[in-house]
Structure 1
């Protein structure tokens, strides 16, 4: 079963909107938030916790779909939902071995 990982940088409301939009897609098997322990780590500690950095956070979502066609639809819906709120979205996967 293909698995899609995506990261959303924005506030919690934006992440929830994207997750809810994906939940509404037919045939999506599972949608789950994943703890990303590296999201608070920065290579450059001189700018850590500045006011510009405090308003947004990175959230990771894992989605399982039955096939690549549904996976492509998930990517499209997630991109539209995040883009309409001006959030950054990054797709990680699916792994080649999982398709």
Structure 2
């Protein structure tokens, strides 16, 4: 079964809205938040904790779907929901070695 992993940068409310929208779709196998311990670590400490950085955080979620058609619908809904809340969304494609 195809798995979709996505990251959302924004506040917790935006992330929860995206998760709720995905849960509202038919035929979703599971949706699981993934702890991404490296997401809070910045390579450039010169801008660490500036006011622009403090308000948002990156959240990662993994979704399992039965087929590519449902997966495409998940991507559409996630992108639309995050976009209406002006949050950044990134679709993470697994390394071929992990499949």
Scaled by the length of structure 1, the TM-score of the pair is 0.94
> After superposition, where does 1:1-99 map in structure 2 within 5 Å?
1-93=1-93
Number of corresponding residues: 98
- SS across alignment from 1:90: strand
Q: Which runs of 5+ in 2 are unaligned?
A: none
Distance (whole Å) between structure 1 residues aligned to residue 44 and residue 87 of structure 2 = 22
Tell me which moved more, 50-59 or 87-96.
87-96
Please give the per-residue CA displacement for 1:55-86, whole angstroms capped at 9, x wherever unaligned. Answer: 00000000000000000000000000000000
**Please, what is the CA RMSD of the aligned residues?**
1.4
Q: Distance in 2 between matches of 1:63 and 1:95?
A: 16
Q: Distance between the aligned counterparts of 1:74 and 1:33, measured in 2?
A: 15
Stretches of structure 1 that go unaligned for 5 or more consecutive residues are none
